[in-house]
Structure 1
């Protein structure tokens, strides 16, 4: 059943899945169907729009700075890494009180500034498909935001400012509920389902009761829970365990005749993409050069300096992502990176990777249990489990759910697009208030 406006006409709606890694947009037709918005141009990657921004100095740009987003941002950055500033995963600071603004070419950008510029580019690259948007826009949000001590009210305020010009009527819905609504379209009989959404910054769970097809109220949300651990955290584990030892982690330096451990703060920042992007400052590089001069083994610190100076963060993390994906298909993989005068390689096994993320998986399972407890259900009461998001393809995650629910109850598919589809369809429902956070 679709939403009805004040004239009695059923409305279309837009579903916006603004993700940490990727953003996807779907549009419903007011008749119970939705379609993805495909982006157009030489750099386009279909309906998947990378959640990234690139800035460069240009006289005709706003305040002398031009920008682009998505795969176009990546192309611009790779063309001129030293003359541009690349920002990705900025959604992870949406709820962070400690984040006030990022300085890019000495100009301050708040979260909402980054978000508005990102959406402007997203609309530009949609080939006109988003110029005439429905008045109702349903925006996905995580159940639990990423970061230490996240503030959901602050995130909501920043989202409102970011989206002020994007939709007349904004509704916020938990992301796994969007996936639940999308998955319900596959079911031909009543079921109680658990949705597990593995994003870039958070892992979220929703428990939903699905009625039989044709029911006036097809889906009823029962409970939700989440944790700020997902794909980006798994990347950080690889960087910390595999890459940072090649850049000086665990090394020592001499100071006043004593041997001291190299401070861990530099490695903490390097393992966090949002902080790594801001390490290319005169102060940080001077501190690292002093450490290099006094280091027992100066070569690894030299590699870190070269990576920062030559803006190699994105290619490095891209190589880390390739290793992570390779380990979903094979028992071992080779990490290789070459850039900025740095060449590193290392062998990694799936067993090592699973050991590095073991504590993270325990916290993810605890969040799943919290969703079941809130719903008042045992695992046996769940008829189907739908896994979505890129990290749902990791074998250790798949085994976790098979152990708890059995392989026969697990479904997958549309890992990157199911949420946007469901959000657009939720936008048609007349009782949308039951879905909003």
Structure 2
């Protein structure tokens, strides 16, 4: 049997890039030459190529017979924007995947574990998929970061949660591939000569690196993985730096409160929650809000604390995220941008300069650079041994991030393209390989 015939005997595969901010899916059918197609999501006159990694829950019906409804992706955002009252909006929940401290969150009286949230999200993704690609394949190649987000991530826990959610979604063959490896696989299709390629994948929650050696012969391109590393810092962390410097001081950060005759600084953990958009959603508890109201009554900045309470009570995480993300995007093209966030009593207006933004994220960039150094060290390579650098992921648009690579490797060696799609396409292509296990990764169970 030839390699081509072995490939054609494989079943169709869904490549799924479940991201912190966006998710993308593609299907590979080995029986069709070059047969990789994206999974689109029709929405009236347009078709979305990415599905926002978000959920919105709300209730309908009478008090005696309430029904909880849920939407995902762009439809979750649309419903939340139209009817924020009573909605429970969740975004960036991938960040919970490897967190042992996150057990569940309560949504309209029901407890949801991470695997429940992911299974619900996958159900909505499938429900909105283009009918032309349905039913979706039951064979799955899912992307996963090299290093999960969080202070002490547990990759084995994340894998078990993923396994449970994907099984509930109907997949009966599940494989995992490091996300930058998938991006490298997609990039390799354009190679005409052998090359050592560094792929840097910058998402919302993690920055991951993969170094792959590609050789080219009469049978095509062959890949030889050399090293993978990652760090739990990326776009969401950059957002937090803007919030910490510009928004949080307007919401009471830096203020003091009186306790037993002493003036104490406002607890920092309320503002640290802005470091992960998913954390804001789980702060909306009676205990947290009662404590904040108590502190506001004793604060030297009661207005700021009251506005922080408003952000939490009114589920303003998404509009705040949108305002900050727009500023970050604008700073990729301009030296300064205007941050504008308004809601009832909250009115935050500020000019954000790129130079200040780059100063705020300098520490994050150092940690990202250290992860890059580690990848090169593991591969046993000097900078000069890298022939091509491929940047993918939305955060790769940040000038300071791109400059990290052009300064180090030279602009002629650095390429970008398909920043949001390359991983899903690469995952699907790997699924069409006869030796798929060569590319997959699975955490060993803890004895």
Q: Is this a same-fold pair by TM over 0.5?
A: yes
1:73-104, Cα deviation, whole Å (9 max, x unpaired): 11111122121101111111111111111111
Asked if structure 2 preserves the Cα contact closer than 8 Å seen for 1:52 and 1:89, the reply is yes
Q: Is 89-98 or 283-292 further displaced after alignment? A: 283-292
Asked if structure 1 preserves the Cα contact closer than 8 Å seen for 2:15 and 2:142, the reply is yes
User: Equivalent of 2:122, from 90, 104, 119?
Assistant: 119
Change over 3 Å in CA distance of 1:10–1:275 after alignment to 2 = closer
Asked if structure 1 preserves the Cα contact closer than 8 Å seen for 2:95 and 2:205, the reply is yes
SS of equivalent to 1:277: helix
Q: Cα offset for 1:2? A: 5.5
1:209-253, Cα deviation, whole Å (9 max, x unpaired): 112264355222111000111111111111111110111111112
Does structure 1 residue 66 correspond to structure 2 residue 69? yes
Does structure 1 residue 168 correspond to structure 2 residue 172? yes
Aligned to 1:228: 232
User: Equivalent of 2:251, from 238, 247, 252?
Assistant: 247
1:5-54, Cα deviation, whole Å (9 max, x unpaired): 7xx63543221111110000011231233111110124965211000001
Root-mean-square deviation (CA, aligned residues, Å) is 1.9
Separation (CA, whole Å) in 1 of partners of 2:400 and 2:190: 26
Asked if structure 2 preserves the Cα contact closer than 8 Å seen for 1:201 and 1:233, the reply is yes
Separation (CA, whole Å) in 2 of partners of 1:203 and 1:436: 19
Separation (CA, whole Å) in 2 of partners of 1:105 and 1:331: 44
Does structure 1 residue 28 correspond to structure 2 residue 10? no
User: Equivalent of 1:136, from 119, 136, 139?
Assistant: 139
Change over 3 Å in CA distance of 1:264–1:395 after alignment to 2 = same
Q: Cα offset for 1:297? A: 2.4
Taking structure 2 as the reference length, what is the TM-score of the superposition? 0.93
Aligned to 2:12: 12
Q: Say how many residue pairs are matched.
A: 434
Asked if structure 1 preserves the Cα contact closer than 8 Å seen for 2:236 and 2:275, the reply is no
Does structure 1 residue 292 correspond to structure 2 residue 296? yes
Q: Cα offset for 1:256? A: 3.2
1:385-436, Cα deviation, whole Å (9 max, x unpaired): 0000000010101111012101110000100001011111110110111100
Separation (CA, whole Å) in 2 of partners of 1:327 and 1:347: 11
Separation (CA, whole Å) in 2 of partners of 1:391 and 1:280: 29
Q: Is 295-304 or 324-333 further displaced after alignment? A: 295-304
Separation (CA, whole Å) in 2 of partners of 1:300 and 1:145: 34
SS of equivalent to 2:77: helix
Separation (CA, whole Å) in 2 of partners of 1:308 and 1:276: 7
1:301-341, Cα deviation, whole Å (9 max, x unpaired): 12212222222111011101111111111111111011243
SS of equivalent to 2:41: coil
Aligned to 1:282: 286
Separation (CA, whole Å) in 2 of partners of 1:19 and 1:117: 15
User: Equivalent of 1:318, from 309, 319, 322?
Assistant: 322
Change over 3 Å in CA distance of 1:256–1:85 after alignment to 2 = same
Change over 3 Å in CA distance of 1:3–1:56 after alignment to 2 = farther
Asked if structure 2 preserves the Cα contact closer than 8 Å seen for 1:337 and 1:344, the reply is yes
Q: Cα offset for 1:64? A: 3.3
Does structure 1 residue 212 correspond to structure 2 residue 212? no
Separation (CA, whole Å) in 2 of partners of 1:110 and 1:27: 28
Separation (CA, whole Å) in 1 of partners of 2:10 and 2:122: 27
Taking structure 1 as the reference length, what is the TM-score of the superposition? 0.95
